Amino acid sequence: MPKYKPFPRLDLPDRQWPNREITAPPIWCSVDLRDGNQALAVPMGVYQKLEMFQLLVDIGFKEIEVGFPAASQIDFDFVRRLIDEGLVPDDVYLQVLTQARPDLIARTFESVKGAGNVILHMYNSTSTLQRKITFNMSRDEIKNIATRGTECVREHAAQVPETNMRYQYSPESFSDTEPDYALEVCEAVMDVWEPTPENKMVLNLPATVEWFTPNVHADQIEWFSRNVKNRDSVIISLHTHNDRGTGVAATELAMMAGGERVEGTLFGNGERTGNVDIVTVALNMSSQGIDPGLKMSDVPFLRAKYEKLTGMKVHERHPYAGDLVFTAFSGSHQDAIKKGMDRRQEVDAADHETPWEVPYLSIDPRDIGRTYEAIIRINSQSGKGGVAYVLSREFGIELPKAMQPEIGKAVNDRADELGNEMNVNEIYHLFQTEFVERREPLRLKQFRMHTAEAAHSEIECSAVIVYEGKEYEITGRGNGPISAFVHALAEQGLPSFRVVNFAEQAMSSGEDADAVAFVHVEIENGTARWGVGIDSDITMAGLFAVTAAFNRGVSTRKPTPIADAVAKTAAPGTQE
């Protein structure tokens, strides 16, 4: 494709950043009120800006770019309101942006008069494309713009000694500026400003357009950091965009390469594909055990505020904040997550400091204000583990492992039929109608039992059943109530079956708790089905599970009538 050419690599054979780790948070600077706001189809009004500013303060940002006051009366008035109404905490820097023009610089200083802490951020573009196409200027002419602008800033700063002033210079489009030239311009600016280790200036190196892979950006930052003079007198700041979809990775690698400060926005709002997403970068650090220094314990709240103030929407798959990022539809994923969450529940009860270990989840959703309810959602691609998880977490029903494939298939078939996802209530309704409330052709109305006279180890039962709409009294013996009931049924000429598996549990604690029983039966033709019974009496729950399993097993075959000799009356009704 001759229309496009690969971006040239930087010659840095002894690069060090690949062997480094991020061990501490950077200095964070939010540019939501500048870069973020200018990228909105409908920019924020004053009240929205005030609310956004307070949100950023509450999150923990100590540096906030609040606008371009010399270019916009709205921005100017907003900055003045923050200062005049005392809305800026003593430890927060207001960052204001200006181009390198004397009139704009003077207006910018007017906007921040009386502020306690200010970062005066001046920029001019240095890239080959901008020099050639936008400005038609030489390298020296572009450098002179930067130095003359810095001289102007220094003159104005001397007139406001009451303000704690920090200077920030950005060679805009640093990402596509020749590295040696970017260094030349920045060092010329440093010569004018004369930063010291005690009074540092910020050199902000924007990847205004993301032209290349993140490793190339890291090489640029490391090369610059290693070659800039008086390195201890400057703060290297990162400002990545997301044109290639790798803004977060570029920022993280550039931090390893020497970047000390990160400018970005909440959820990556910004021009084109956006600025770097500070929420993602911060929570990536949290997932590695590093305190990011920002409050990210309630991501749903941050998302709601962001969407309200910007009119933007966070995508369902957005890291950490999207609706579906803590959700698994795949059956194998669901099974692994269920096992991990079950194990974690046991671990948390013993030791809250145990390292997080749950398959497919890099972070505990609770730590960022998310919940477990949406971790597993069910569609036709889901598996047995997901259904088991939903019934366990939402309804307290612990399915036997052997039963999970059967109910998983039933749910998948239903989801296929619907053509979409099933919510928890729909899953529970299917569980009830398919496995619990199966009352045809056999229904148990009454059941009594007592010890058999002839064999004290056996139970004798008498029961009233309804079969195919007719009511019958039956009796039988066995080594327990279920065994006695099954034998009683077998003596009446019904399709023969045997119980091959049985499990029971209490659905909650307390005297009034319901019990749930799970019974697996095998019908004479080899059909095997599970049934479930729920009742306050565990014995009755087990018997109801038997009838439900039997009914599911014979539902596809023609029932065999019971002998008329034992029939009482035709009295169809509901299971009691």
Q: What is the pLDDT of residues 120-131, one digit of tens each?
A: 999 999 999 899
Q: What is the pLDDT of residue 558?
A: 43
Q: Which one, of 240, 252, 249, lies nearest residue 170 by Cα?
A: 240
pLDDT digits (tens, 9 = 90+) for 223-235: 999 999 999 999 9
Q: Which one, of 364, 420, 373, 418, lies nearest residue 395 by Cα?
A: 373
Is the separation of the CB atoms in 244 and 210 below 8 Å? yes
**Is it the case that residue 311 has pLDDT exceeding 50?**
yes
**Is it the case that residue 16 has pLDDT exceeding 80?**
yes
Residue with more model confidence, 576 or 497: 497
350: phi then psi, degrees, rounded to nearest 5? -100, -40
pLDDT digits (tens, 9 = 90+) for 33-91: 999 999 999 999 889 999 999 999 999 999 999 999 999 999 999 999 999 999 999 99
Distance from C-alpha of 449 to C-alpha of 459, rounded to nearest angstrom: 7
Q: What is the pLDDT of residue 384?
A: 66
Q: What share of the chain is helix, strand, coil (3-state, %, to 5)?
A: 40, 20, 40
Q: What is the pLDDT of residue 457?
A: 74
**Is it the case that residue 295 has pLDDT exceeding 60?**
yes
Q: Copy the structure tokens of residue 296.
A: 């990210």
Q: What is the pLDDT of residue 565?
A: 31
Q: Which of 28-37, 42-51, 477-486, 553-562 has the lowest mean pLDDT?
A: 553-562
173: left (phi over 0), alpha (psi -120 to 50) or beta: left
Task: Please classify residue 475 by burial: count the beta carbons closer than 10 Å to its beta carbon, then call 0-12 exposed, 13-18 middle and 19+ buried.
Answer: middle
**Is it the case that residue 411 has pLDDT exceeding 70?**
yes
130-146 mean pLDDT = 94
Q: Which of 169-178, 254-263, 405-414 has the lowest mean pLDDT?
A: 405-414
Averaged pLDDT score across all residues of the chain: 89
Sheet of 528-535: strand order equals 497-506, 515-523, 528-535
Beta-bridged to residue 516, according to DSSP, are: 505, 534
Which residues touch 346 (CB under 8 Å, ≥6 apart)? Answer: none
Q: What is the pLDDT of residue 383?
A: 62
SS3 assignment, position 65: strand
181-186 mean pLDDT = 98
pLDDT digits (tens, 9 = 90+) for 190-245: 999 999 999 999 999 999 999 999 999 999 999 999 999 999 999 999 999 999 99
pLDDT digits (tens, 9 = 90+) for 337-389: 888 888 887 777 666 678 899 998 999 998 999 876 556 566 656 666 778 88
Q: What residue type is 268 in one-letter code? A: G
Is the separation of the CB atoms in 320 and 299 below 8 Å? yes
313-328 mean pLDDT = 91
Q: Which one, of 248, 168, 172, lies nearest residue 208 by Cα?
A: 172
Q: Copy the structure tokens of residue 456.
A: 């004290």
- Could you tell me the domains of the chain? 26-309 (3.20.20.70), 331-434 (1.10.287.1400), 442-566 (3.30.160.270)
Residue with more model confidence, 195 or 334: 195
Provide the pLDDT confidence category of residue 552 given band limits of 50, 70 and 90.
very high
pTM for the structure as a whole: 0.74
**Is it the case that residue 284 has pLDDT exceeding 90?**
yes
Q: Copy the structure tokens of residue 493.
A: 């000429």
Percent of the chain with pLDDT over 90: 68
Q: What residue type is 403 in one-letter code? A: M
Provide the pLDDT confidence category of residue 423 given band limits of 50, 70 and 90.
confident
pLDDT digits (tens, 9 = 90+) for 530-551: 999 999 899 999 999 999 999 9
Q: What is the dihedral of CA 508, 509, 512, 518, to 10 degrees?
A: 40
**Exposure b/e, 219-230, CB count within 10 A at least 16 = b:** bbbbbbbeebee
Q: What is the pLDDT of residue 7?
A: 85
Q: What residue type is 272 in one-letter code? A: R
**Is it the case that residue 287 has pLDDT exceeding 90?**
yes
Cα–chain center distance at 575: 45
Provide the pLDDT confidence category of residue 1 given band limits of 50, 70 and 90.
low
